[in-house]
Chain A
Amino acid sequence: MLSRVANSLYWMARYIERADNIARIVDANLQLLMESRRVGPEESGAHWAPVVESTGDEEAFAAVHALATGTSVTDFLIFDVRNGNSLVSSVNQARENARMVRDQVPGEMWEELNRLYLYVRSAEAASIWEDNPFAFLQQIRSSALTLLGISYASTPHNEGWHFLQAGKFLERADKTTRMLDLRHASLPRTGMPGPISQADALGWAAILRSCSAWDAYKAIHGSAVHPRWVAEYLLLSDEFPRSLKFCVERLDASLRAVSGVAARRFSNDAEKFSGRLLAELQFGTIEEVFQTGLHDYIDQIQTRLNQIGDELFRAYIFQPFVNLEDEIMVQQEFQQQQ
């Protein structure tokens, strides 16, 4: 498979996952606000500022908005194309990457992605958003699910598919940890958190909802929400498909499927780092996480996920592109030797 194509597939999957996660996070936070009793400008700011922080784009946000309010944050996260990670930007990027490798993308997938692209740009979408934001977000999430379904159920699980998987799970692992980090301000810096207020419990429940984990969590822990259990579930669950461990496991498996290297060995640094992270997740406990402090732990994890992404790029996608001028010289020398 062409390196350039692998790169485009990888980024297409990442951006689809990103768009989906933005829809989730906005959805859960809008719902949360509906449940709180009074929402003045201060509460609103206190609520939305961490949402922006969790995306890591607080600087870009500060450049265009003075205040974090429901309107400014949701607009920034969803429609603002000045924000390269907004939902609309992500859909544009996913579609642009798909377009670059149009021949490698299954027809159904391209059509759905193109439909989503046309939808988020349409006047219809904007008016649905005004009238009923949940309906709008639901559209985005269904479309993302359709895309996942197509890639899973009707395309060959070949090398290209594993690049899609790698992109998807790396992005999802990153986003799950970011969502989990949303309420770190309410936790002690290190050590196990104590009992929490009812308002905080609602906040942690919103995090679970953002990750579609609410029902699954309840099946295990009932409706008692505590950061310890939430963090354990979202970081270390074996079974839940958005947990960090689950994502890293799949990421690692796809990297090995591409190279054909066995699980306990590695042939490049992407595999080395993903294998190492996976081992730590497999043999780590939530007590250790809180000893480090949830926020610091998540920070480290994000750095390590980025590292895996960089090494993946270096191993398969980074093309030793020679500078065009230099290459012209190389070729001319070769031609003169003839």
Chain B
Amino acid sequence: MLQGYDPKGFYDEMFAADSQPRRHYSKFRQLFDDIAPTDFGQRCDEVDLAFLRQGVTFNVYGDSKGTERIFPFDLVPRVIPNSEWELLERGLIQRITALNLFLHDIYHEQKIVKDGVIPPYYILSARHFRREFVNFQVPRDIYIHICGTDLIRGADGQWMVLEDNGRTPSGVSYVLENRQALKRTFPTMFEEIGVRPVDHYPQELLKTLQHVAPAKAVDPTVVLLTPGPHNSAYFEHTYLARQMGIQIVEGRDLIVRDARVFMRTTKGLQPVHVIYRRIDDDFLDPTVFRRDSALGVPGLISAYRAGNVSLANSVGTGLADDKVMYYFVPRMIKYYLDQDPIIPNVPTFLASEDSDRKYMLENLDKLVVKAANESGGYGMLMGPRACAEERAKFHAAIQADPRNYIGQPMISLSTHPTHVGDGAFEGRHVDLRPFILYGEKTVIVPGGLTRVALTKGSLVVNSSQGGGSKDTWVLFGDE
């Protein structure tokens, strides 16, 4: 079915420059060619219908009708050979370890600042730096328990880290659902090709959460705190809670008495010990953070400070999500672990540095400019594709608030054959978000969420901006 596929000069995941399938795709390619195009179209429709019926959907913000959409799913899987995955795994473990050491350091001795590795200005001006939590002891010194790190591959095939999501990364439910869907669609392929399973994620997540339970809790109760059904990731919250067999609660289900957290049940108040919170710091507790937050629980932070309840992720991890901190991660790895980064960063310019800013302002047409604390593909300028007016807007914004901007060369992300309708396949740009669990040991389920920019030529993979996803297959072997 992939006859005549043209990678158009990009680094393609499936096909090498000579149009031959890469070694780790050869088995898939053979089996896939046996499927008739009409049959394939029918299977696509079946999967879409199944997702819609199961309500595997996300809510679109700003849509007054409250429309739910399915997250478009492309049936052609992305394949990663095991040896390559093992390298990525080592790189990700190295990175999360450094980030947790960094956060612990910043919220305690701040040695990395004192030793001049990171200028204090950048820490103090970071929007998500929670100075109230300096010298606060988080359970087992873990700040980021769950991390979603976005990886990309550039024109030469080199893996790079695009960003770390150390607050409340989402998308893992799609990893699990996509796998279920593909197992139903290509039932025989998995065995023949040898694909590493991913379904143990919920158990591993639960272990990670139980690991940080307060020591005095004998049989700790873990809950998932959601902002509620109107949140775009609500499906994922319910999915994970169900898979882990824990309660999903909203802020109004919880109450704090004597610095202890309880949930309101039909049998009265019951204690809660670990909260997997899918709410940002700002909304957790209106007595401490945003007073207008109706999503949180008054008094939650005092219970947290008293050590009666643990939060995952910890408060204050947003500091590591700051795109300016991203710039310093290779230095953190060197500083804390005395290692070189296994997966490099994308080259980055900091607008606060005079020389970098000068370069950025002069080369806006070549760079991608990002706001330091936005996510979801918002607050971004794709220089080479933007109009003069947009560039002028960012030109002014950078000068007005240089701390809030970084610049990166535009990476032409690797492409992957993607079904574009009627049995035709074209290359679409992809990234990869593995989910890292940092508990007693660090666990990464093989692969992660491959996001794909479904719009032709687009480099933006976010679901809010026309992105879809693929199943990601890490092989047991290399072919």
Contact = CB atoms under 8 A, between A and B. Distances in A.
Contacts of A114: 52-55
B253 interface: yes
A199 interface: no
B54 A110 contact: yes
- Interface residues of A: mostly helix, strand, loop or mixed? helix
Contacts of A332: 287
Nearest to B247: A2
Contacts of A4: 250, 252-253, 264
A96 B258 CA distance: 35
A95 B229 CA distance: 12
B287 A1 contact: no
A118 B449 CA distance: 28
Interface stretch (B77-85, B291-299, B310-318, B452-460): B291-299
Given A3-B264, A317-B266, A110 B55 contact: yes
A324 B298 contact: yes
A1 B265 contact: yes
Nearest to A107: B54
Interface string B216-248: 000000000000110000110011011000011
Contact of A328 (B53, B239, B266, B286): B286
A111 interface: yes
B291 A6 contact: no
Contacts, number: 84
B256 interface: yes
B53 A111 contact: yes
Contacts of B248: 103
B259 interface: yes
A99 B226 CA distance: 13
Interface residues of B, number: 34
A321 interface: yes
A319 B264 contact: yes
Interface in A298-338: 316-317, 319, 321-322, 324, 327-328, 330-332, 334-335, 338
B474 interface: no
A221 to B, nearest CB: 43
Given A111-B54, A114-B55, A3 B266 contact: yes
Given A111-B54, A317-B266, A324-B294, A2 B249 contact: yes
Identify the interface centre among A2, A4, A114, A316: most chain B CB within 10 Å of its CB: A2
Contact of B242 (A100, A103, A317, A324): A103
A80 to B, nearest CB: 18
A332 B285 CA distance: 11
B285 to A, nearest CB: 8
Contacts of A327: 255, 298-299
B324 to A, nearest CB: 33
Interface of A: 1-4, 6, 96, 99-100, 102-103, 107, 110-111, 114-115, 118, 159, 258, 316-317, 319, 321-322, 324, 327-328, 330-332, 334-335, 338
Interface of B: 52-55, 228-229, 234-235, 238-239, 241-242, 247-250, 252-253, 255-256, 258-259, 263-267, 286-287, 291, 294, 298-299, 302
Given A2-B264, A114-B53, A118-B53, 17 more contacts: A1-B266, A2-B247, A96-B229, A99-B234, A102-B55, A102-B229, A102-B234, A103-B239, A103-B242, A111-B53, A115-B53, A159-B266, A316-B266, A327-B255, A335-B287, A335-B299, A338-B259
18 contacts: A1-B266, A1-B267, A2-B249, A3-B266, A4-B253, A6-B266, A99-B55, A102-B235, A103-B238, A107-B54, A118-B53, A316-B266, A321-B252, A324-B298, A327-B298, A328-B286, A330-B299, A331-B287
